[in-house]
Amino acid sequence: MIQDILPLHLQNQYEKKQPDDTSYMMIYRENKILVREGETLAFLTYRELREICETAGEMAPQSIYLFSVGEETYFLTELPEHLTPEGYCFEKMFAVRSGKPKEHILAAATAWHLYEWYRDNRFCGRCGQKLMHNGTLRMLFCPACGNQVFPKIAPAVIVGVTDGEYILMTTYANREYKRYALIAGFTEIGETAEETVMREVQEEVGLKVKNIHYYKSQPWGFDQNLLLGYFCELDGERDIVLDTGELATAEWVHYSDVPEDPEGLSLTREMMSVFQQKFLSEKMS
């Protein structure tokens, strides 16, 4: 999955530090990220940013330390719109998922998560005053009323609904992602993740489930999520009542017809593969 980058590790503890020449500068505009042109996913370095600004007679913009991956440090910054680094372009965040190496995909998604948080929390939601950066924590605070704001993380479930050798697979309505997916949805206030599983399956396909058990979790910075994977079994009839506002299709797929995973990034795709491999292993034994 996207977080499986051993022997590397994403160190997300906040530190008050300055970039060096090799630090990666994460720059976003709307739903796009600045990346180097070419097949390898790479980002602008602080040395390159400084040289671009010096050539234009401008000061390098301020930056915020984000995290490190191995020996690489990452900072969030902005680039004046009239400055376009040669050999770089702005790509949609969705396109980043097909890049390499995997640790740079994780970095781009996690930095995007923090970028959206900083962007959307410039002012206090309680009193309207400008928020300030805390010097020791990943936190914004209001000097007027004392309000503290931490990064937003939205828990959501990914659900593998099974019926013997079949698994329920879906496609989204009105989304850019068009390949097969599983039932998914956000955990609401006052409910457990297991209750979310039952509710989302009922709402999206009109089915009841039983024997709900946890599989794995995954950070998904593209949407500010912490994804919780669950498998469960169909409880009753398998007739689907589709919520067309959420899904374009939903169908029972035999394990032998589960498509291969070309990316190996998402919890959803791993759960599909785990379901398939279970039966393939049984057939071979």
What string of DSSP letters covers 34-77?
EEESSSS---EEHHHHHHHHHHTT-PPPPEEEEEEETTEEEEEE
- Looking at residue 280, its pLDDT comes to 82
Amino acid present at 56:
A
pLDDT at 222: 94
Among 141, 176, 199, residue at a domain's last position: 141
pLDDT digits (tens, 9 = 90+) for 140-198: 999 999 999 999 999 999 999 999 999 999 999 887 777 899 999 999 999 999 999 99
pLDDT digits (tens, 9 = 90+) for 52-98: 999 888 888 999 999 999 999 999 999 888 887 889 999 999 889 88
Residue 28 has pLDDT above 80, yes or no: yes
Number of structural domains found in the chain:
2
Which burial class, exposed, middle or buried, applies to 39 when counting CB atoms under 10 A from its CB (0-12, 13-18, 19+)?
exposed
d(C-alpha 18, C-alpha 52), whole Å: 18
Domain hosting residue 208, numbered range = 154-284
The CATH number assigned to the domain holding 163 equals 3.90.79.10
Q: What is the pLDDT of residue 285?
A: 59
pLDDT at 57: 84
Highest mean pLDDT (candidates 34-48, 170-184, 226-240): 226-240
**Residue 22, domain CATH:** 3.90.79
Which of 88, 85, 13 shows the shortest CA–CA distance to 50?
A: 85
pLDDT in tens, 93-131: 988 988 899 999 999 999 999 999 999 999 999 999 999
44 is a domain residue: yes
